[in-house]
A and B are shown apart, each in its own frame.
Chain A
Amino acid sequence: MSIDTSPKSPEAAAVPPPGHAPVKRVPQGHKRLLTRRDRITLAFMAGVPTVLHVALVWVTAIASIFLAFTSWDGIGFDSIKWVGLDNFKQLFTDNPQFWPALQHNIIWFVVLILIPTPLGLFLAVQLDKKIRFSRVYQTAFFLPVVMSLAVTGFVWQLIYNPDTGLINSLIGANKPGHYIDWIGNPHLNLWAVLIAASWRHTGYMMILYLAGLKGVDPSLREASALDGANEWQTFKNVIFPTLRPTNTVVLVVTIIEALRAFDLVFVFNKGAQGTELLSILITNNIIGESSRIGYGSAIAVVLLVISLAVIIPYLIATFRKERQA
């Protein structure tokens, strides 16, 4: 549906109806001077990227919703059968992996927001104090963010491996009978992965908060110090409230990261028992032997609904602020 309408919209917008008065004055001047060729160029400039983006991201997202109510073997379009809510019913009642996966996604978010996020904020506040070697520390904390999650997964396997890993070697649990299987044990593996994920997330949050702290008016801090507030009071009452925009971004980024979590777990143990995630269920449904398109799409719809519940309010707030600016 969107493939056809969206490329037209910029064109249609490029030639506004004569009576229409644009909100701002300057662009009106722009428009009046546009030649026919300019308008075609503009339609092309806005149209080509939009078609590509909409076709690959939004058409597929909408197709996910549609396919979730069908059963399809993927071979011919005429084999698509409408099955109503069957896929969802099965997902919610019959799939032993679905509820654990959803729960793990939530745990993922809770852990990220409770441990690495405050830690990243704390590090940012310390590194913002104009101390020496700040850059060196920053580089160390930020290094894990630069590396791919796949590499991160392999690096942490060297630590968790029951036979050869660092932890078991150190505590002598690498002998038969004493094994602690950090990767295979369903009671342990999620937490083991989450430590690796937190290791990475801390640096990311630190960088976001450092940028936020740079924007804090230094005179606020001075005023607070003159009033006799100590460091903690200054932070709590003055700095933290002004970090509100950063906190919003951090919250959204953390939720999205928790929903996107995939690479690390896939490298770790392919999402075996204990580390199921929604993203893993969807992917295994595709690359596994028994691919069920409708069923996989139903899981995707759950993920989509949760994501949009976060993305839409965030973007509305962001763009409303921008329009006011």
Chain B
Amino acid sequence: MSTLSATAPDKQRTPIRPARILLHTFLVVTALAWLAPLLWAVFAALRPYSETSNKGYVSWPDKLNFDNFTNAFQQSDMLHYFGNTLIIAVPAVLLTLLLSSMVAFYVSRFDFRLNIALLLVFTAGNLLPQQVIITPLYRMYLLIDLPGITASGKLYDSALGLVLIHVAFQSGFCAFVLSNYMRMLPHELTEAALVDGASVWRMYWQIVLPLCRPAMAALATLLSIWIYNDFFWAIVLISTGENMPITSALNNLSGQYFTDPNLVAAGALLTAIPTLIVYFVLQRQFVSGLTLGANKG
């Protein structure tokens, strides 16, 4: 990201001024305030329920351990729900990237009359609130029979149903971002390939897609976190608690343990861990993915 010239590093280290100290103080205090709710959750999750119910939550801890975490993990069979999420998120991310890159390729490389209209349809669709379409979607999912394909025999209450709606919804955003990205690639690239007799598919698969790797990586990170974090689709389109992905399952799990806030805190934090790992490892991708779409607007 940094486009500093060779002389810039000298300038970067400004001498310490009172204004800077003030700024850092402000930022440290604000950052801690921002982390406070999370730290409070960690603190609660680390304390045994018996202790907090005796001494109250605002008290010096006698014991800190991971019991709540292990209990939440085992008692509510979280591994199973993580598995559910994986079954939904992995195909959804891959399919979204594949389909949206195909549309983007078409729209950006072949200047047919419909391309702007097509892109508009995709982008606008992605901006709609999910609840606008949920009533007919729910009915549609109940009406589509898929005996033998999904366990429920319908699109409703199946992982396939969730994958499809994720792909349909998210491909709007991805198609928009990728088409902008592809438009920046020189036209000569594909032109030369075409002259050489390469098929359209080869152009897409072997020339354009590999060049889009940075954008695809950013989008993959973003999509993984979004789909992992999805709550709404699964709450409405999945009826069997067993089939819920982890984020939505949390709602049921917390109902089970509502009497023990420490356990709920541990469960919620466990759910957040995968997203936090992805975020810390791929922070650059995540942020650039988020701003890729926004910057162009």
- The winner among B110, B135, B199, B280 for most chain A CB atoms within 10 A is B135
Chain A hits for B199, CB < 8 A: 35, 37-38, 41
- Asked if A272 CB lies within 8 Å of chain B CBs, one says no
Closest chain B residue, CB of each to CB of A300: B132
In the bound assembly, the distance between CA atoms of A35 and B44 in angstroms comes to 66
In the bound assembly, the distance between CA atoms of A210 and B295 in angstroms comes to 11
Chain A hits for B27, CB < 8 A: 123, 126-127, 131, 133, 137
Chain B hits for A248, CB < 8 A: 297
Which residues of chain B in 218-277 are interfacial with respect to chain A, using CB atoms and an 8 Å cutoff?
225, 228-232, 235-236, 247-248, 250-251, 254, 261, 264-265, 267-269, 271-272, 275-276
Closest chain B residue, CB of each to CB of A52: B168
Contact with B along A176-214 (1 / 0, CB 8 A): 000000000000000000000001001100011011101
In the bound assembly, the distance between CA atoms of A211 and B286 in angstroms comes to 13
Q: Are B231 and A312 in contact (CB under 8 A)?
A: no
In the bound assembly, the distance between CA atoms of A123 and B34 in angstroms comes to 12
Tell me the count of chain B residues lying within 8 A, CB to CB, of chain A: 112
In the bound assembly, the distance between CA atoms of A10 and B110 in angstroms comes to 11
Among A24, A131, A158, A203, point to the contact of B23 (Cβ < 8 A): A131
- The winner among A64, A158, A166, A248 for most chain B CB atoms within 10 A is A158
- Asked if A323 CB lies within 8 Å of chain B CBs, one says yes
Contact with B along A293-316 (1 / 0, CB 8 A): 100110010011001100110110
Q: Are B275 and A146 in contact (CB under 8 A)?
A: yes
In the bound assembly, the distance between CA atoms of A150 and B195 in angstroms comes to 53
Q: Are B34 and A143 in contact (CB under 8 A)?
A: yes
Q: Are A148 and B271 in contact (CB under 8 A)?
A: yes
Which of B62-70, B74-82, B113-121 sits within the interface?
A: B113-121
Chain B at the A interface: SS class = helix
Which of B86-94, B99-107, B146-154 sits within the interface?
A: B99-107
Given contacts A148-B229, A208-B291, A318-B297, A154 and B169 within 8 Å (CB-CB):
no
- Asked if B191 CB lies within 8 Å of chain A CBs, one says yes
- Asked if A115 CB lies within 8 Å of chain B CBs, one says no
Further pairs besides A37-B199, A136-B31, A150-B250: 13, Cβ < 8 Å: A64-B136, A131-B24, A146-B286, A151-B268, A158-B261, A208-B291, A211-B287, A262-B232, A263-B231, A282-B131, A286-B135, A293-B135, A319-B119
Among A22, A207, A208, A262, point to the contact of B111 (Cβ < 8 A): A22
Interface size class of A (residues with CB under 8 A): 35 or more
Among B20, B99, B175, B272, point to the contact of A147 (Cβ < 8 A): B272
- Asked if A90 CB lies within 8 Å of chain B CBs, one says no
Q: Are A123 and B30 in contact (CB under 8 A)?
A: yes
Q: Are B135 and A53 in contact (CB under 8 A)?
A: no
Chain B hits for A323, CB < 8 A: 116
Which of A54-62, A91-99, A106-114, A232-240 sits within the interface?
A: A54-62
A and B contact pairs by CB, cutoff 8 A, 27 listed: A13-B113, A13-B114, A27-B110, A52-B168, A57-B172, A59-B136, A131-B27, A136-B31, A141-B30, A143-B38, A143-B276, A144-B38, A146-B279, A147-B276, A148-B228, A148-B247, A149-B229, A150-B229, A154-B265, A170-B58, A199-B37, A207-B290, A211-B294, A215-B295, A245-B295, A248-B297, A322-B180
Among A49, A245, A252, A262, point to the contact of B131 (Cβ < 8 A): A262
Contact with B along A9-37 (1 / 0, CB 8 A): 11001101000101110110111011101
Chain B hits for A249, CB < 8 A: 294-295, 297
Chain B hits for A253, CB < 8 A: 294
